[in-house]
Amino acid sequence: MVWGTIGVCGYVTVEGDVYLEEDTWDPATGDPAPGSFAVRRDERARREVLFFASRRYPELAGCLPVKSAQDPACADCSGSGWITLGDHHIFCGQCGGLGWVALSSRGGEG
């Protein structure tokens, strides 16, 4: 595990696999389902894990995608990587905190 917060853990394996485990929720109670996790390996999950983990392990920043001149700023966060709600700054899930979205990944998975 290279990063974690409430309900989410990020992993990088020695083989280079980057993935997230998220708590799943019991729809009947609205509570976390004990011992039940969903694994995500999509591009957003990969960016999120590498973005947060690189704060603790700077060498992982080299694994983040590199912005090309054609890649536009993220529309959700106006290129900052963070969304402001009142006094709170929330990580932008659309761009994974990078502030931009690769043209090749736009219109892909939600």
Contact residues for Zn ion, defined by CB under 5 A? 74, 76-77, 92, 94-95
DSSP per residue over 21-47, as a string?
Answer: EEEEE-TTTSSEEEEEEEEE-SHHHHH
Q: Which is nearer to Zn ion, 1 or 106 (CB)?
A: 106
Q: Which is nearer to Zn ion, 33 or 64 (CB)?
A: 64
In degrees, rounded to 5, the angle at the alpha carbon of residue 80 between the alpha carbons of residues 7 and 97 is: 30
Q: In the complex, what is the shortest distance from the CB of residue 86 to Zn ion, in angstroms, rounded to a whole number?
A: 18
Q: Count of CB atoms within 10 A of residue 10's CB?
A: 24
Q: In the complex, what is the shortest distance from the CB of residue 2 to Zn ion, in angstroms, rounded to a whole number?
A: 21
Q: Strand pairing partners for 23? A: 37
Q: Which is nearer to Zn ion, 10 or 96 (CB)?
A: 96
Q: In the complex, what is the shortest distance from the CB of residue 101 to Zn ion, in angstroms, rounded to a whole number?
A: 7
